[in-house]
């Protein structure tokens, strides 16, 4: 998997996760998928969030375009 595809999937995961966090707030449940899966490993959870943030920054800087 190249960097562009990895960034795409990380940004998609982050967007879906934040959407579920918002829905969870409305229904009074914890729907944070990253936390539910990695909650017992807080350092790994933090690394995942940092990777998602870096992927989003890369997408913003590149304008969403990938090189072939």
Give the tens place of pLDDT for each residue, 17-31. Answer: 999 999 999 999 999
Contact status, residue 56 vs residue 11, Cβ threshold 8 Å? yes
Cα gap 42→31, rounded to integer Å: 17
3-state secondary structure of 43: helix
Give the tens place of pLDDT for each residue, 21-64. Answer: 999 999 999 999 999 999 899 999 999 999 999 999 999 998 76
């Amino acid at each position: 998997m190249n960097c562009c595809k990895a960034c795409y999937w990380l940004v998609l995961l982050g967007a879906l996760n934040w959407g579920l966090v918002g829905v969870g707030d409305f229904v009074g449940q914890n729907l944070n998928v990253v936390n539910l899966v990695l909650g017992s490993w807080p350092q790994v959870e933090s690394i995942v969030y940092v990777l998602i943030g870096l992927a989003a920054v890369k997408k913003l800087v590149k304008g969403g375009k990938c090189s072939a």
